[in-house]
Structure formats: C-alpha cells, structure tokens
C-alpha cells in the first residue's frame, strides 16, 4: 500500500517517471526493513541494464536519426504517393503507407510522428484536408513504427522476459500490416462522407518505377536488418550496428545529403532518448525486484484466476488493464512494470510468450495516441500547432479500428504466430 501511494502520489505531482519508479522501489525496500535490503537498490540499478541485447536500442535509434536526417522521409513519401496518391483521400493513404515503409528504420512512434508531422501534415492541409484529420491520420500511422520491426519495445520485452527478439520481430510483421490495411479501409470509407480530396490523374507505372528507384536504398534497409536477424546471420545488436553503418554510407556517400558535422547533433539526440529510456529501465528494475520478492506477480495471477479460469475472459481483463494503464503512464515504464506481472498469468492460461508479448506491446502502442499522456499527440500538437483535443476528436474512428485489430491479434493466436512458425521460431 505504501509503495502504491508513493508511486501514484509522485506520478500525480508530475515527477518524471524514471524518478517515480526509483523512489517507489526504494520505498518498497525500506518497507522490507534492514539496511541489507537497501544495498539492492544500486545493485539492481546497474544490473537492470546489464543485458547485451539492450545495446541494440541506441543503435536502432541512431540509424533512424541518420536515415531521417538524410532526406529518406521525402523519398518514401514520394513512392507511397505514386502507389496510392491518385485515390480519394490519396495523401491520407500515402501517409499510412509511408508509415509502413518508414517503420522499418526507426522502431519508434514518436520519431514517425515528428517526421510526418513536419512533412505530411502541411502537405495534406495544403491539398484541402482539415488539420485535425491530417494529424489524426499521422498519429494512427505512427504506432505502426514500434509494431513492425525493428521495435525498441520488442527489444525491451525480449531482453527482460527471455523471449526470442527475432521471434518477436517476425510476429510483429502481420499485426503492423493489418493496422495499416484496416486504417486505409477506414480512410476509403470516410472518403465520400468527409469529401476527402482526390489526387490528380491515375496510377502511373513510370512514376512508380522512378520513385521506387530513388527510394530503393531506403526500402532495402529494413529488409537487410530483418533478413539478417530472422535467418540467424546476426544477432539483433549486430544487425543494429550494420544498420548504422548502412545509414551512414547511404547518407554521406550515395545521397550526399548528410554532413559529418550533423553527426554530433544526431549522437546527442540519440544519447538523450536512450538516457531517458535506460533511466526508466534501471529504476524499474529496483521496483521489479521488490515486486518479485513480495511475490506480487503470483498474487496478481492468483487474483485473476480466482475471478475466472476462462482464457478468453482473462485475456479481455489483461487488455482492459493495459489500455487503462496506458492512458496515464509512459509505455516503456508500463511495459517494464507490467510484463513481469502479466506474463506469469499468460503462461498459466497457456498463451505463447511471443503471442503474449505482441499483444502487450500493441495494447501499449495504442496508448501512444490516447489522451491525456499520449506521446504522439503531444509531438503532433507541438509540431503542427493543432490543439490536442481537436486531434483527439478526429482520431476516435482510428482508435476503434486499432482496438479491433488488437482484439483480433489477442484472440486469434495463429495470426500472430504464423510468420514466426514459418521461419522456425
């Protein structure tokens, strides 16, 4: 009770989540009594980060920064626009398709929201879309980034829970594509009702081929990363370092749009983003040790199973819990805290660890676009100048569609596990 009061009290006061987790964890250690428990705090702080696979995260972030700074975004948008831009709501379709292509480079929804908020939203407004709708489409597409690999959340989950990161990467492909497909179907359905602008002309094979040629090197990057990991050529960390090298060569030698003087800014931004995430992970490991010591995961699992033993009902309760927690908490912190609590429960009902991981990650990804703390909403609001409440008002149809995809993924395990099984995971 004291730990819960410390946690939620500090959270309400607005203290950064990394500090909240650390203080709550130390409070739990003090509650156990004796100075010998306090010595666990610094030990767990450092041991929480002592995982080789965590090295992949800053490397993937840096690779995304390099590709973003190299002008890759505009090339991918041109290719997406050549494919679907002639349809009614063409730029909205292009926005969603470009999110799929861009997701293989960053693995972070906030990066996608910032990139497309600066490029696609102004272009959509200029063509006649309302700014809230343009922001809503961008927010809906941004969560494809951490769903289709490489995904930083998958690296965290796999490292903490001992689940194959390559298996998680493989399992994330179909859910990410389904989100894009269902959102594009929604855009098509809204096309006439909202009188969305229609692109000029029709499909042009010449334009498709020319834009594909100019964006080919960008498209090859996620193919290279995933191929190397899924076929066992490299570990995720080694693939991430290759991605950085590839991005540097493309940006400086081939496209020549990147200067070596830009490298310091990109390294600084990478260090800042990584530092925030690693502080959360390290602090959460203190709280996680306390939860394990007092057997909180087992108690939560027992309380859920006491209510019902029906697997579908338990999955439904887990989803409600994740979506509710995501409304108020940073998703990295929520994943680090809740995964050790919920995974024993999913194991108890016979859920595959990879399937459970994708379900948890997708549920938390959706919370990136829900107020009051949806990170993508804040990024888009700051980039475009649009009010969060207006973006949220235009966003709800996309939220319903994505929750529908989440339900499909949660209750149809073969859909998630098809690709991992095909590749032998």
Q: What is the pLDDT of residues 313-345, one digit of tens each?
A: 999 988 988 888 777 777 777 888 888 888 888
Among the listed residues 307, 407, 402, 300, the one whose alpha carbon sits nearest the alpha carbon of residue 343: 300
Q: Residue 424 burial (CB < 10 Å; 0-12/13-18/19+)?
A: exposed
| pLDDT above 70 (res 372) | no
Comparison of pLDDT for 256 and 184, the residue scoring more = 184
Q: Residue 128 burial (CB < 10 Å; 0-12/13-18/19+)?
A: exposed
The predicted structure's pLDDT at residue 75: 78
The predicted structure's pLDDT at residue 107: 61
The predicted structure's pLDDT at residue 406: 94
Q: Where are the domains of the chain?
A: 53-278+297-422
Q: Which residues are registered as beta bridge partners of 88?
A: 198
Q: Indicate left, alpha or beta for 51 from its phi (over 0: left) and psi (-120 to 50: alpha).
A: beta
Q: pTM, whole model, 2 decimals?
A: 0.81
201 band by pLDDT with thresholds 50, 70 and 90 = low
405 band by pLDDT with thresholds 50, 70 and 90 = very high
Quick: pLDDT tens for 264-315: 888 888 888 778 778 877 887 787 777 777 777 667 767 777 788 888 999 9
| pLDDT above 80 (res 210) | yes
Percent pLDDT > 70 in the chain is: 93
Q: Which residues are registered as beta bridge partners of 198?
A: 88
């Amino acid at each position: 009770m004291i730990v819960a009061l410390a946690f939620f009290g500090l959270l309400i006061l607005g203290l950064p989540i990394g500090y909240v987790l650390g203080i709550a964890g130390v409070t739990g250690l003090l509650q156990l009594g004796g100075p010998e428990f306090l010595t666990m705090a610094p030990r767990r702080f450092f041991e929480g980060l002592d995982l080789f696979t965590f090295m992949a995260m800053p490397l993937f972030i840096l690779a995304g920064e390099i590709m973003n700074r190299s002008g890759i975004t505009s090339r991918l948008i041109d290719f997406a626009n050549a494919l679907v831009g002639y349809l009614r709501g063409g730029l909205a379709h292009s926005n969603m398709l470009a999110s799929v292509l861009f997701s293989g480079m960053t693995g972070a929804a906030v990066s996608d929201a910032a990139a497309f908020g600066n490029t696609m939203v102004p272009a959509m407004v200029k063509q006649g879309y309302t700014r809230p709708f343009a922001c809503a489409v961008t927010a809906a597409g941004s969560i494809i980034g951490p769903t289709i690999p490489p995904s930083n959340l998958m690296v965290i989950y796999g490292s903490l829970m001992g689940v194959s990161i390559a298996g998680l990467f493989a399992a994330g492909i179909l859910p990410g594509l389904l989100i894009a497909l269902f959102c594009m179907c929604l855009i098509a359905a809204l096309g006439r009702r909202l009188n969305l602008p229609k692109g000029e002309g029709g499909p042009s094979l010449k334009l498709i081929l020319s834009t594909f040629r100019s964006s080919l090197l960008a498209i090859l990057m996620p193919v290279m990363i995933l191929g190397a990991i899924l076929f066992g050529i490299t570990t995720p960390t080694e693939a991430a370092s290759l991605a950085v090298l590839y991005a540097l060569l493309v940006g400086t030698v081939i496209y020549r749009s990147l200067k070596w003087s830009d490298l310091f800014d990109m390294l600084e931004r990478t260090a800042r983003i990584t530092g925030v995430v690693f502080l959360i992970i390290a602090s959460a490991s203190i709280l996680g040790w306390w939860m394990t010591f007092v057997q909180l995961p087992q108690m939560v699992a027992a309380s859920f199973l006491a209510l019902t033993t029906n697997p579908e009902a338990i999955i439904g309760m887990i989803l409600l819990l994740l979506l509710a927690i995501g409304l108020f908490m940073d998703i990295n912190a929520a994943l680090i805290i809740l995964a050790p609590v919920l995974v024993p429960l999913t194991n108890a009902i016979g859920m595959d660890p990879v399937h459970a991981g994708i379900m948890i990650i997708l549920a938390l990804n959706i919370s990136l676009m829900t107020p009051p703390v949806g990170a993508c909403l804040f990024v888009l609001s700051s980039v475009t100048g649009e009010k969060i409440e207006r973006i949220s008002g235009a966003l709800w149809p996309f939220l319903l569609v994505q929750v529908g995809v989440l339900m499909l993924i949660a209750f149809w395990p073969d859909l998630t596990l098809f690709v991992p099984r095909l590749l032998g995971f």
